[in-house]
Structure 1
């Protein structure tokens, strides 16, 4: 673990904090690779049943550290930045079959905004904001922003936000459907923790299969989606969590899921 990424594990929840607050948690190569490794470690640790990604300091993430791309000695080039930094992060967020929460504590700009939007649930502090900042410097949205944002808020709104680079407040983001819920700043960490711990007590196998279905729904037709639902329902019904859930229902008690 490096200083740019902090990991704390408590009550089956992994809290991953982007930790470059002096540059608003903007990504350099080291932080991007460290986040990838941390996500992989959390995926492989069966004791972890929910993951939270947040930022230390005032920002969630300001996107790419422009000092890195303008320094001839440091600049890895945009192809490497995308193919080795951001694209693997997005792929890990979507393929890890555990719930991943983006806890957006402040500004989320550029790749930082799109990493948040790729998560399963986005919680935003009332102090948070989102901006597709790419057009401000002559770039195009990356980190799957052009994939997720139109699906979240519609083509017209996404097109305008990406072309104009407007800043969207937390409340506006909630109204647009970009985030699940806005939380008061003074209770943000408490509420994020409460939701994450709730997810960590739920049937992780079923949640992971639900995530797989949602991923496939982006490209499947109805016939293929129905067939996949059938296959994955059979898989879910063979889990220990299903047996526990049914038994608890019959016995009129709260189920105790073990995540498999």
Structure 2
């Protein structure tokens, strides 16, 4: 195992990159409530900080390129190039769709606003005394990486999960917040939300497709399958409570 104990305050809530964007860049209401009203400390690993900066840099390149076209009234001529991350492609599609609904002045104002917001977000999140505590977690447990590959496809997400697990095993609360429905929370309607739970099919009209289905493994949510691997590598105390911001706030309000 090649994993070090996180340095710094290890309590609080472990936040994924998308949670940081939801708060500091997109200004989503639930994310603001989490960071501004919740008494829990928010923590992230150095890996997440690097990922945030990398994504922010790529988005800034997109904003500035779009701004060049918009400033001359040629937004319709824009053709994205050099996008190698599927999330970047999705971001450009969504942003461009929004911009085409605006007039030229609004487009320029919106792009300048995004550029300024990203610059401010770095300071707010990562400056000393900011809203986030950054933990130094060097290396990952190669065995856990191998186990998680059976559940999660994205390698970056796997390593973030390893960071969160190291934090959980060394004094962290174990609560990991993410908005990643594709890889970490899952979007399968069978699983339901973390708060409400899914509705099991009790009709008895269908037989399981395999013995594994009969045992119930195929009906587990993505977070449950992730924790199966973490627990098999370590113990039940190392498991993560993987929640969306909305589900966490709902639980907190009870």
TM-score (norm 1): 0.29
Instruction: Determine which structure has greater relative contact order: mean sequence separation of CA pairs < 8 Å that are 6+ residues apart, divided by chain length.
Output: 2
Higher strand share: 1
| Structure ID, larger Rg | 2
